[in-house]
Amino acid sequence: MTEPSATFLLFGATGDLARRMIFPSLYNLHADGLLPEDFLIVASGRSEMDDDAFREDVDAALQQFLGDRYTAELAGSFLPMICYQPVEAGNADQLAALAERIDGRAERGLSVYLSTPPSLFAPTAQGLADAGLIRPDTRIAMEKPIGKDLASSKAVNDGIGALFDESQIFRVDHYLGKETVQNLLALRFGNVMFEPLWNATAIDHVQITVGETVGLEGRVSYYDGVGALRDMVQNHMLQILSIIAMEPPARMDPTAVRDEKVKALRSLRPMTGETVKTHSVRGQYTPGAVCGQIVTGYADELGQPSDTETFVALKAHIDNWRWQGVPFYLRTGKRMPARQSEIVIQFKPVRHSIFGRDGHGTGLEPNTMVIRLQPEEYIRLQIMSKRPGLERQVRLEEVTLDVSLTAAFAGQRRRIAYERLILDLLAGDQTLFVRRDEVEAQWTWIDSIIEGWKDANMKPAPYSSGNWGPSSAIALIERDGASWHD
């Protein structure tokens, strides 16, 4: 691995993501002394502003989003690292001024971060090339969405790929920066007891839920026409699925890990106009109450009716040896009753019950493992235990083996996902970034669902805000004799 980049060039620097996540993350890295010496952040956006005005904006954002972590003293040493250069795509003079800011530094490593709409990715990259800023060791990071289907994602990747080698491209999925998602690797491959059971012999099904209480939040122009399937499943949820489902990589390195993830993603069974009817549910929220607050419906927020789904539930199959016959149920939605992301591993019943006939009436239940990713972080394993007492027949009851990660690592500050990702970008470590073939495998499966919906003319079903989607989402899993873990 090379020396960390000495310059960070951020496009889209006046945007929401930059204010909420990227600058607070850079500040935290600075506070912990993790940024290279003589580090320069070149921020770029379309608005005309000078360095001082931009630093004031960043200062306000830091105060707003960092809470107690903000101190005037640290901000005082952080803000001078930032300079601002307005750039409109295609404006050669502004690009020349940008190059001027970076002059003499690119050879000490330049990491470029595109936090702009994807339509600007290729033009921005071309502008960098024209300004002579791309070297073999220059890195470029891109935010999602990378396309809206396989064909458009290929076009985006081709545009960037014409100027950068894959080893220089860092596709961001911020879920991979979350400590709890990385912890899935530790759980599976750092313990001897789970891996032998991690397959169709012992596991009945897997559930992955990412529930959000928020609605559109002023993101109408982005969200409408995109929907929950593209916004959440195509990236975050399929990344989680790939980590749960993949074979053990030989080592923790970018090639080994991503090789295994892509194999799992490619094994997803495509859907059709027929299977979407029983294997998928689309929903859209209507007025209701979330966490005690009355909220309006999606169409009201939008100001017109729409066919965009704000909820999706899917029954996925991974057609390989390990997962044959094990459904993966996925669901995600806006305006759910709780912000809650978790993975449930539902084990099969014991092969033979010694406690009465088939265990009936004894309380015997199959084991369940719940891995809560957010807001709390824990791993809970429901195991059977004898209820104390003198009854002649053994009575069993579920007890919980509870590992609270928040409590176990109480002294450790919880990091913003972007801190990990920015640090890895600067260091050139691609393990937690998405490779082109992964994105394309993800889109291939998502496209099959979108095509299926078109063929079957499936529109979103309404659900009242504050519910776990339409009732058909319950039927999707209950038909198989299972139920969602709420």
Q: Which is nearer to ligand BG6, 59 or 212 (CB)?
A: 212
Question: Rounded CA gap, 210 and 225, in Å?
Answer: 20
Which stretch of DSSP H or E encloses residue 352?
none
Amino acid type, 262: V
Q: Is 279 a catalytic residue?
A: no
- What are the start-end ranges of the E strands in 34-136? 40-45, 82-86, 110-114
Nearer to ligand BG6, 226 or 461 (CB): 226
For ligand BG6, give the closer residue by CB, 204 or 231. Answer: 231
* E-strand stretches of 334-486: 340-347, 368-374, 378-386, 396-404, 461-464
Catalytic residue among 30, 174, 205, 236: 236
Q: For residue 151, what are the contacts with CB-CB under 8 A and spacing of at least 6? A: none
CB nearer to ligand BG6: pick between 295 and 326? 295
The distance of closest approach from Cβ of residue 420 to ligand BG6 in the complex, given in angstroms and rounded to an integer, is 13
Quote the crossing angle between the two packed helices 254-266 and 238-245, to the nearest 10°.
Answer: 100
Q: Which amino acid is at 49?
A: M
Q: Output the smallest distance, CB 143 to ligand BG6, in A.
A: 9
CA distance 345 to 444: 26
Q: How far is the CB of 341 from ligand BG6 (least distance, A)?
A: 6
Question: How far is 266 from 336, CA to CA, in rounded Å?
Answer: 30
DSSP class of residue 268 equals B
DSSP annotation string for 288-347 = EEETTEEE--HHHHHTS-----SEEEEEE-B-STTTTT--EEEEEESS-SS-EEEEEEEE
Shorter beta-carbon distance to ligand BG6: residue 252 or 291: 291
- For the bound state, the minimum distance from the C-beta of residue 262 to ligand BG6, rounded and expressed in Å, comes to 21
Query: 231 vs 438, which CB is nearer to ligand BG6?
Result: 231
Angle, in degrees to the nearest 10, between helices 179-189 and 417-427? 80
Residue 231 near ligand BG6 by CB under 6 A: yes
Q: How many residues bind ligand BG6 (CB under 6 A)?
A: 2
**Residue 438 interacting with ligand BG6 (CB under 6 A):** no
As measured in angstroms, the least distance from the Cβ of 340 to ligand BG6 is: 10
218 Rama sector, left if φ>0, alpha if ψ -120 to 50, beta otherwise: left
Q: Minimal distance in Å, beta carbon 349 to ligand BG6?
A: 33
Cα dist. 461→137, 307, 308, 451, 469 in Å? 49, 10, 10, 18, 9
CB of 197 to ligand BG6, least distance (A): 28
Q: Which is nearer to ligand BG6, 231 or 440 (CB)?
A: 231
Cβ atoms < 10 Å from Cβ of 336: 26
Beta strands 293-295 and 139-142 are unpaired
Which residue's C-beta sits nearest to ligand BG6?
A: 231
Question: What DSSP state is assigned to residue 182?
Answer: H
> Which x/- pattern, by CB under 6 A, does the window 172-211 give for ligand BG6?
----------------------------------------
The full length of the chain comes to 486
Q: Residue 422, SS3?
A: helix
Q: Which is nearer to ligand BG6, 306 or 368 (CB)?
A: 306
Of the pair 112, 336, the CB lying nearest ligand BG6 is at: 336
Among 212, 301, 342, 438, indicate the residue that binds ligand BG6 (CB under 6 A): 212
Q: Does residue number 309 form part of the binding site for ligand BG6 (CB under 6 A)?
A: no
For 394, residues 6+ apart whose C-beta sits below 8 A from its C-beta are 355, 362, 386
φ/ψ of 188, rounded to 5, equals: -70, -45
Q: How far is the CB of 74 from ligand BG6 (least distance, A)?
A: 25
User: With respect to ligand BG6, which residue has the nearer C-beta, 30 or 178?
Assistant: 178
Q: How far apart are CA 239 and CA 457, in angstroms?
A: 28
C-beta neighbour count of 458 within 10 angstroms? 18
Please report, for residues 189, 246, 247, 320, the alpha-carbon distance to residue 250 in angstroms, rounded to integers and kept in the order given.
Answer: 10, 12, 9, 19
Contact residues toward ligand BG6 (CB under 6 A) are: 212, 231
Active site residues: 236
